[in-house]
Structure 1
Amino acid sequence: MRILNICAYTWAIGGPARIIYDHTNEVLAQGHQVDILSPMTPGEKMYPVPEGARLIECKRTTPISNFYREFSIEMYDYLKKHINEYDIIHMHGIWHFGSLAPFLIPHKAALVITIHGLLDKWAVAHSKWKKDLVTLLYQKRLLGKADLIQINNRDEEEDVIRYLGYRPANMVIVPNGMKVSEYINLPEKGIFRKKNGIGPSQQMILFMGRLNIKKGLDLLLPAFQQIHEKLPNAALILAGPDDGYLSETEEFIKKNNLSKKIKLVGMLTDTVKKEALSDADLFVLPSYSEGFSIAVLEAMTSKVPALVSDRVGFGDYIKKYNAAYLTPLTSAGVADGLLKILQDKNYADELRKQAFTMVTDNFDIKVVANQLLEEYKKIKKM
């Protein structure tokens, strides 16, 4: 099959780029062709491209793209010329031009949309007026026209049904996957700590994600302030690019004199990210809204005990396996979870064990990639 993924394929976008990367490696190994069509802004760092795949970069068209995400005349022109070279056009996310453009051009390809959690209540309420406008103009109608809607879990199924008012026949649950083998042998412990001035006796709490309020930073920061009084050796690492919440974070750190205990280290990639996971005592993501958090899976595969909300995309699996501390979305709840994991070694060890079992049982990329390929085959038209 000839497959085209449409996504802003950058480090800053996070999970979707990683999902495409891992899935593409498995698909290429089975003899299929994969291209990635990516709208981009000059200066953005593109995600690595799997060997054998092709990345097609398209400049975003400003100023329109400042208001309508990923609007790109170059992308539209590429699709107009080449859309019939593909069997599958796979759009990642909604609310942006990349999930509209393929519907505007006559084609013979099968169209796939992955929701990536963008229809949950928190996500829909964010920039609501824009989403109401897109809904009115086309979004509901196009979801109904897609050949396949990929969702990751039962929560997303409920979100789609609530949004559309019915359960579409073209919707299927296929979770995201992890390349487990990449996280089995992590770098030697101590490298990240040494680079960032964190002592070997300190308890290192790691947050990895965009600095956006939806990630629960408004809960995590005051929670850390609370537990810091009981665990003065604890250190919080905030690893991720600014996405609207950096100034609030810096103000909180300054106001509460926590500059020696909370470190902003920017976005971590490749080996440096694995060095951080190797050194972490706890991973935290009290998110209000996630499609399917690859960062959480990376931490779990790295055997780091995790504190997360049930909105990370696979809360049902976490409950079944008792694979993480599921926090209520309150600062006090997050603080309780941090203390529980950091003060109870047996509990932390059990979370590590259960989480790794959950990932290997359900989310190994080899299994997941084949599930999605089978769905592609069912809808392929040519």
Structure 2
Amino acid sequence: MHFTDTYLPRRDGVVTSLRTLHAAQLAAGHDSLLVVPRHREQRTEPGLLRLPALACGVADLRLARWPMNTRGVRERLVAELAAHRPEVVHAHTPGPAGLLGVLVARRTGAALVQTYHTDLHAYADAYKVPRWALRLLLRVYAGRLGEPRPLPGCRTATLTAGNRLLLGDAGAVVVPTRAVLDRVELPVPAERIVLAPTGVAPRAATPAEAMAFRTGYGIGPSDPLVLFVGRVNREKGVDLLIAAFARILDRLPSARLVLIGAVYERRWLNRLLRSVGPAAAARIVCAGQQPPQVVAQAYAAADVFAFPSRTDTQALVLQEAALAGLAAVLADPSLHRHGVLAGSTVLAEPEPDSFADAVLGLLRDRRAAHRLGAAARAAAAAHCPQRYADTVLGVYHEAVRRRSRVSPLEAVAGG
């Protein structure tokens, strides 16, 4: 049973990773159930268990509301899920659904596997989450798990305590790249941490489709095109990218920038566009969230992929761009060094002039960009979806083996 706090119609790296794994498991003949927050636009699909959920007001997330229910209702929900008798519970996120997964694992004695997809410390900083709010969530989590109420602490200590609550029972904690371990000290033994990058399958787009993408947004066939794919949000470094693009235009006036991804803070984005002036803003296309085939066309149409985020733990869009042969510029040294592309990107300082110089270097030297794109493609191709699924299956077997060494009484108690 997989537990996630983010799912379709929302698109992000967690959803992509989860659906890749779920599809591979079903194809291999395993039973695989997804426990997700309910959304009115979700389509019915095999193995989908939907939880009543509420919009939380941040990035279109919908959070399962079960922690707010009465004790009796909560107990019935856990019992209903436990009746599926999972051998493995895999929690992919740290929200209410992930917390529910921990409870189901405790109730059934199933092996618990966690994936640490999200840099919680970076997100808390980006959204300026108040310390009191983090402490309140920590108390709620401790209460639902029947753990002692944690002592007050600073923001970092509070987040670490939350990780300890969620990860403490885990037989294995999957991290998508070494970049996670560069940023966060996970409160689990090192032997239980497993590196398992999500594999991405290439999506082909023809030259005609690439040209149609350009034409559809009024981009000329020879206009140098810089592409960003991801949430157009503050934690993704979009402010850095827009400021850098204004500097690019000073030296390459024909350049265009396309931003593909959901926009959740429209006023914030409009302020950024106003800050660079109307001439620069007119060269920027905000395409919104697009279906996968349109994104593939954008990769084929672009000249450089710009990824200014410093909060991502894997950035699957980097692999997607690489599989299209697109050279990328990053601002995150950990992701550059330890990401799946293993240095086959250009690293810039996280300030506008440096980032602009790096992008311009690739736009002006097409041979260098082609060589870098080819190296990135080779690195990304080594991490296919099947390799990811096989690695995670091995993680499950090891977690079950570890769990089997625990006595049945301890397993039911979560201990």
TM-score band (shorter)?
Answer: 0.7 to 0.9
Following superposition, the deviation at residue 260 of structure 1 comes to 2.5
Following superposition, the deviation at residue 371 of structure 1 comes to 0.7
Aligned length: 366
Counterpart residue number, 2:347:
326
> Pick from 233, 251, 272: which aligns with 1:230?
251
1:114 is aligned with what amino acid?
A: T
Q: For the structure 1 residues 372 and 353, does the alpha-carbon distance in structure 2 shift closer, same or farther, using more than 3 Å as the test?
A: same
Q: Distance in 1 between matches of 2:116 and 2:375?
A: 28
Counterpart residue number, 2:51:
58
Please state if 1:99 is matched with 2:123: no
Counterpart residue number, 1:117:
118
Please state if 1:307 is matched with 2:305: no
Would you say the 8 A contact 1:117–1:292 is kept in 2? no
Deviation by residue 1:199-244 (Cα, 9 ceiling, x = unmatched): 1111111111112111111111111001112111111111111233
2:396 is aligned with what amino acid?
A: Y
Q: Distance in 1 between matches of 2:58 and 2:256?
A: 39
Please state if 1:289 is matched with 2:311: yes
Q: For the structure 1 residues 60 and 358, does the alpha-carbon distance in structure 2 shift closer, same or farther, using more than 3 Å as the test?
A: same
Q: For the structure 1 residues 331 and 285, does the alpha-carbon distance in structure 2 shift closer, same or farther, using more than 3 Å as the test?
A: same
Counterpart residue number, 1:131:
134
Q: Distance in 1 between matches of 2:23 and 2:35?
A: 16
SS in 2 for 1:100: helix
Gaps of 5+ in 1: none
Counterpart residue number, 1:21:
19
Q: Distance in 1 between matches of 2:397 and 2:209?
A: 43
Q: For the structure 1 residues 61 and 228, does the alpha-carbon distance in structure 2 shift closer, same or farther, using more than 3 Å as the test?
A: closer
CA RMSD across the alignment: 2.9
- More off after superposition, 73-82 vs 151-160: 73-82
Q: Distance in 1 between matches of 2:292 and 2:373?
A: 22
Q: Distance in 2 between matches of 1:325 and 1:64?
A: 35
Q: Distance in 2 between matches of 1:276 and 1:11?
A: 21
Q: For the structure 1 residues 102 and 316, does the alpha-carbon distance in structure 2 shift closer, same or farther, using more than 3 Å as the test?
A: closer
SS in 1 for 2:113: strand
Q: Distance in 2 between matches of 1:103 and 1:142?
A: 7
> Pick from 170, 177, 180: which aligns with 1:153?
177
Q: Distance in 2 between matches of 1:172 and 1:58?
A: 29
1:99 is aligned with what amino acid?
A: G
2:7 is aligned with what amino acid?
A: Y
Would you say the 8 A contact 1:84–1:108 is kept in 2? no
Following superposition, the deviation at residue 167 of structure 1 comes to 3.8
Q: For the structure 1 residues 122 and 7, does the alpha-carbon distance in structure 2 shift closer, same or farther, using more than 3 Å as the test?
A: closer
Identity across the alignment (%): 22
Q: Distance in 1 between matches of 2:334 and 2:53?
A: 29
Gaps of 5+ in 2: 143-161, 405-415
Deviation by residue 1:34-65 (Cα, 9 ceiling, x = unmatched): 1211103445x66x95xxx4222223147899
The within-5 A match list for 1:231-380 is 231-244=252-265, 246-255=266-275, 256-257=277-278, 258-310=280-332, 313=335, 315-317=337-339, 320=342, 322-361=343-382, 363-380=383-400
TM-score, normalised with respect to structure 2 = 0.79
Would you say the 8 A contact 1:300–1:359 is kept in 2? yes
Would you say the 8 A contact 1:40–1:57 is kept in 2? yes
SS in 2 for 1:323: coil
Q: For the structure 1 residues 19 and 232, does the alpha-carbon distance in structure 2 shift closer, same or farther, using more than 3 Å as the test?
A: same
Following superposition, the deviation at residue 124 of structure 1 comes to 4.5
Following superposition, the deviation at residue 133 of structure 1 comes to 4.2
SS in 2 for 1:332: helix
Q: Distance in 1 between matches of 2:230 and 2:294?
A: 14
TM-score, normalised with respect to structure 1 = 0.86
Would you say the 8 A contact 2:3–2:97 is kept in 1? no
Deviation by residue 1:148-185 (Cα, 9 ceiling, x = unmatched): 21112223234442x53x645432221121124x3487
Following superposition, the deviation at residue 319 of structure 1 comes to 7.5
- More off after superposition, 127-136 vs 331-340: 127-136
Q: For the structure 1 residues 215 and 62, does the alpha-carbon distance in structure 2 shift closer, same or farther, using more than 3 Å as the test?
A: closer
Deviation by residue 1:267-304 (Cα, 9 ceiling, x = unmatched): 01121111111111111111020121111111111111
Counterpart residue number, 2:147:
none
Counterpart residue number, 2:152:
none
